[in-house]
Amino acid sequence: MKKLIYLIILLLTTFSLSSCFDIVEEIDMKANGSGSIKGTLNLSKSKTKAASLMKLDKIDGFKIPSEAEIRKEINTVVALLKNTKGISNVNHRLDFDNYIASVSCDFQDVQALNAYTKTLALHFKSKFNDYSSYAYDASKKSFVRSYRLSPDAKKEFNKLKPENQKSFDQAFYTSIYRFQKPVQKQTNTAGKLSPNKQAVMLKASIPNLINGKVSLANSLYF
């Protein structure tokens, strides 16, 4: 699971133990290929349990980071992104009342969007950027999200006891892509098109995503 929530890795170490959470990836793409991205981890459905976990030092061998440690890690992430070519307007939010964390920024082009992923993957010693990338072609009027199953994530998840795997059924990953022009076609049948056809949403349970039952890969044409 750590590879899926690389934006807020210390929060994951703490709160994946609560099992009930939402990860949301939002990309707003402009016609010229620039745009913005926002990643959010929302544990408000488990905030009572999360608050209890924060009072502990360790649980099941996991060290529980303090609020100060989490803030320090997020500040490090923000600093790294600010120094990434093509990335600007980096912001973050940490809400310890409802246990919601987010990181957002603008990207100059799709190369910068992929650099954003690579920067975070390198910092957290993850291979997430090897399994996920983006492409945008203004001339062909297409936006492509490439994605393939991470064998490491599946291996780690399968180490969990069946009852613990089952508890993740209430954990979801949602991707939302917004555009300035209507989407005429998409290749992933799980993607839901908004009424104005300018946004596509795909929501999947974490177990289905890890086990390859659902893919984030999608090619969109305008």
Please report which residue ranges of 89-150 form alpha helices under DSSP H: 110-123, 128-131
| 7-64 per-position pLDDT tens digit | 334 444 444 555 578 889 999 999 999 999 999 988 888 777 777 777 777 665 667 7
Please, what is the Cα angle at 48 between 2 and 205, to 5 degrees? Answer: 40
44 φ, ψ (degrees, to nearest 5): -60, -30
| 166-197 per-position pLDDT tens digit | 767 788 999 999 999 999 999 999 999 999 99
Q: How far apart are CA 113 and CA 166, in angstroms?
A: 34
Alpha-carbon distance values, 22 to 100, 185, 193 (Å): 10, 27, 20
144 φ, ψ (degrees, to nearest 5): -120, 130
What the block records as the tokens of 208 is 């289905």
Q: What is the pTM of this model?
A: 0.86
Q: pLDDT at position 6, please?
A: 36
Q: pLDDT at position 164, please?
A: 66
Domain ranges of the chain: 6-221
